[in-house]
Amino acid sequence: MCDATLPFIKRCNVLSAIIEMAEFREQRACIKFCFKLGKTATECYEMLKTAFGEEAMGHSQTFQWFSRFKAGRTSIDNDERSGRQVSSSMPEMIERMRQIIHKDHRRTNDEVSMLVGISHGTCHKILTEDLKMRHVASKFVPRLLSVDQKQQQLDVCLDLKENAANDPGFLSNVIKGDKTRVYTYNLETKTQSSQWKSPGSPQLKKARQERSNIKSMLICFFDQKGTVHKEFVPPGQAVNAAFYVEVLKCLQENVQRKRPNQWRNNTWLLHHDNAPAHAALLTRQFLTNNNMTVVPHRLYLPNLATSDFFLFPKLKMKLKGRRFQTLEEFKQSRRPS
C-alpha cells in the first residue's frame, strides 16, 4: 500500500465513525420513543432490526440504552470522556517529576508515572524531552576516590613527570616489582587455536575448557634490561610483610650481581604498588635501613602496573594451551629470563 493513501484512509475511517455515531444516535431516539410508548426491551430490539436491518444496534447495546431510559435518562448522546490529563505537560508537572528524580535517581519510568498519575508514554516523553534525561547504568570503576586521594594521584603523576624530565636516566634506573598467578594449564588464545581450513572441510570445533586448579604466585622484578629477580611463592604461604622482606633481601643480592653499577652508585629505584605487604611498617623499616629509594605509586590505579602490559602477557603466552602435571614441572619447563 502506498504511503500517500494512508491519510485518505484515516479520513475515511473518521468519517465512517462519525456516520456510525449519527446513526446510533437516531436509533437511541427510537429506543427512547419505544420506551415512552410502553414497549418492552425485546419488542424494541425486534423493531430496530426490522427498521435498520444489518445496521441495527446489537442486543446488549439496545437493552443497555433501554435500561438507561427506564432509570430516568433523557439524553441520547454519549457520556463525555475524561481523556488525557491536560496538566501532564504543564510546568508544575515537569517540576514535580524533576523533584521525584532528584530524590531518587534509581526510580523507573513506571514508578514515576504511578507517582504523578500520568501514562507511561507521557512520563517517558517528559523525562527525555523536557528534562533531557537518559536512563543509564553506572560505570564500574575499581574504587571511588575521595578528593584528597585524587589530589594525591595528581601529585604523584606530576612528580614522576618532573623526575623523568630532569633526569634522562630516571626510567632506566627503576626496577618494577609485581606478582601474578600462574596455572599448570591456562587456556590457549584464539590465535593459537586457529588452523588453515579449505572450503570443503567441516567447521572447526573446540570444547569449552577451564584453567586448572593447581596454581602458584610468581613475584618478579624487572627493569629495561630484563628480569632482575623472580621467585615463586611456596604453596600455602601468605604474601605478608615478613615474607616480602625476605624477597627484598634476595632482590638486593640480584641487583648487586646483575646491576653492579647501579648497586655501587645506589642509583637504582624500587617501584611497587600499595599492597598491604608493601606498605607495612616492617617493610618500610627495612627499606629505610637499607637506603632503598621507592618510587611512589598512585593509589588504587592499575595503569602504572607496567608488568601487566609488558612482562606477564609475554611470559604467559607460550604457556597457554600447555598442560603440566605439577608445579615443579611447570617451573622447570619455562623459567622467566
Does the domain formed by 87-130 have CATH 3.40.630? no
The x, y and z cell numbers of residue 155, run together, are 601529585
Whether 223 and 211 have beta carbons less than 8 Å apart is answered as no
Is residue 116 over pLDDT 60? yes
Overall pTM > 0.85: no
Residue 19's φ and ψ, nearest 5 degrees, are: -65, -40
Closest CA to 252 of 304, 291, 305: 291
Contacts 24+ apart (CB under 8 A), 142-145: 142/300, 142/301, 142/302, 143/300, 145/299, 145/300
Instruction: Report the C-alpha gap between 2 and 149 in whole angstroms.
Output: 64
Neighbours of 105 (CB within 10 A): 9
Residue 262, Ramachandran bin (φ over 0: left; ψ between -120 and 50: alpha; else beta): alpha
Q: Assign 269 to helix, strand or coil.
A: strand
- Residue 76 is predicted with a pLDDT of 83
- Determine what percent of the chain is predicted with pLDDT higher than 70: 82
Which of 109-123, 192-206, 264-278 comes out lowest in average pLDDT?
Answer: 192-206
- Condensed to tens digits (0 to 9), the pLDDT of residues 58-100 reads 888 888 888 888 888 888 887 665 544 444 457 888 898 999 9
More confident residue, 274 or 186: 274
The CB-based long-range contact list for 221-224 (8 Å cut-off, 24+ gap) reads 221/175, 221/176, 221/177, 221/251, 221/254, 222/175, 222/176, 222/307, 222/311, 223/172, 223/173, 223/174, 223/175, 223/176, 223/259, 223/268, 224/171, 224/172
The CATH class for the domain spanning 147-189+210-333 reads alpha beta
Look at the domain 3-70 and name its fold.
Arc Repressor Mutant, subunit A (1.10.10)
Round the average pLDDT of the chain to a whole number and report it: 80
Q: Which tens digit of pLDDT belongs to each residue from 10-50?
A: 454 444 444 444 557 888 888 888 888 888 989 988 888 88
Whether 2 has a pLDDT exceeding 60, the answer reads: no
For the chain, domain boundaries: 3-70, 87-130, 147-189+210-333
CA dist., res. 336 & res. 8, Å (int): 79
Cell numbers that stand for 81 in this block: 470522556
Residues in the chain: 337
Q: Which residues contact 183 (CB under 8 A, 6 or more apart)?
A: 211, 212, 214, 215
Write the pLDDT tens digit of every residue in 309-322. 777 777 777 777 67
| Per-residue pLDDT reduced to its tens digit, 134-185 | 888 877 766 777 888 888 888 888 888 888 888 888 888 998 888 888 877 7
What integer pLDDT is reported at residue 184 of this predicted model? 73
**Domains 3-70 and 87-130 are alike in CATH topology:** yes
Residue 262 above 70 pLDDT? yes
Percent of the chain with pLDDT over 90: 14
